[in-house]
Structure 1
Amino acid sequence: MSETLLKTLTKLHFTEYEAKAYLALLEESPLTGYAVAKKSGVPRSRIYETLDHLAGRGDILVSPGTTPQYTPIPAKELIKNRRREANDHFKLAEKSLAEFEQSSHDRDNIWNITGRNEIIDKVKNCIATAQTRILLEVMEEEYEEVEEELRQATLRGVNVTIIAYGDISSDFAHVHLHYMGSAIKEEYGGNWIVISADDVEVVAGIVSLGTDSRAAWTRHVGLVMPITEVMIHDLYLMEIMKEHRDELEKTFGKNLVNLRRKFSIHPDFKKHYLK
């Protein structure tokens, strides 16, 4: 049996025993397992394990029966299959390495997005690539623009949870209405949007300034973690307010206004981020 052929096949991911068995069958087939062992020199104790591996990989065919017989796929077909598998591996490696390289780069950076439409487009992209969970804090105007993307995400099996400001309802997502509704806009002086996708990516920004709107997009864990956890704590507050609103407002004022006054640095207690 040609040593050159054996070495060639081992470079195509054949073991020595597999190469010997395949070449024996290529020379003469069909053969029983016993006959393959005898012709190839593969020990009888290893021949059926070797033939099973070859058959499982599609390099040989088995005719069932009391005494199975084996035949190889043609050499040209074998090479074609190996070439296709190699190309598939190269394509997967190219794609995976590029994604890893980009992901590694993204994890260390915070990117600025300018313009309302550009921010909404980035949010849509986050929704489209999410695989497990989306947390979205949004006002009704912006919700209408991303509703269809969110619906498609749920069809992929993504859990979508929304902290909603204003009149937002959904037949596919978990919606938690903020206790201040759209009235909060007056206090904050504008609209914002925050999304956390799969706990690995966030977009957060102001979207009520037209082309001057600003947002940050990042995979940096130093921002992804606190922003995601703040949204989860907002959900805690929504649940607490739903169950105990009357009691809480007796202590902290309507819509918890006394708390907001307590922790504001401005005399009118309103937010002044937009200047």
Structure 2
Amino acid sequence: MTYGERMAANPDTIGALQRLGLNQYESKAYYALSIFGDHTAGRLSERADLPRPRVYDVLERLQDKGFVLIQKGRPVKYSAIPLSEAVQTLKKLKQSELAGELTRIDELSGTLHNKLRATAAANAPTADAVWTLHGREAIYSKIGAMISHAKTHVTIVSTPEGALSKWNAHSKELSKAKTRGVEIKFVTPLSNDAAGELTKIASLHTKEMPTRMVLSDDQALVFLSDNKSKPEDEIGVWLKSPHIVETFKQAIGK
């Protein structure tokens, strides 16, 4: 089997390398070095079917990504780093990129918050207006904000599984709220043993309610979807109404 035939015989491998984050030329170059061994740039361009003017750029990018070693000399040779090592380097690079992106998002959100705060009062949600949230990510983000801004109380009404899910997602916010003096209450048919760490922060009321909801000061978030819904199919409504919150609290009872 010729070099070209061996390269063409494994399109799935090339495709898998591309899914890792390499482009087509990088994938072909790394694959060729892996199966054929060390190569000069010129020889690699022939065997991996890479344009000669591009091969040095391709190899430099592979070195930056941790997939290729360069052996200085005359001529310069290139060698594939074992995939297990290359993947570890790639994961670290991706984690670093993600951390940088998250930092950028935080900085931008801080700037936007300051710019929008001056006009927020004019555009604030109307009292008693009902706002719909779609998907668990959006709903949980709103719950996190409700907890973070709570001054007096937070009440979470849910199924046992839902209560633990909300605790796992918001334990940090709930702990901080508790430190601020906020009263934290979970209403769910969950035993103290099953509740675990939750009981150190919140009072547990073992009661089953027909509706899942979160109450925080004068805000209420009520789940409209069934508790068996997929995360992406979850639907909730949020409103700011002291009257509605008080009505829900009375329905829940002590």
TM-score band by shorter chain is 0.3 to 0.5
Normalising by structure 2, we get a TM-score of 0.39
Normalising by structure 1, we get a TM-score of 0.36
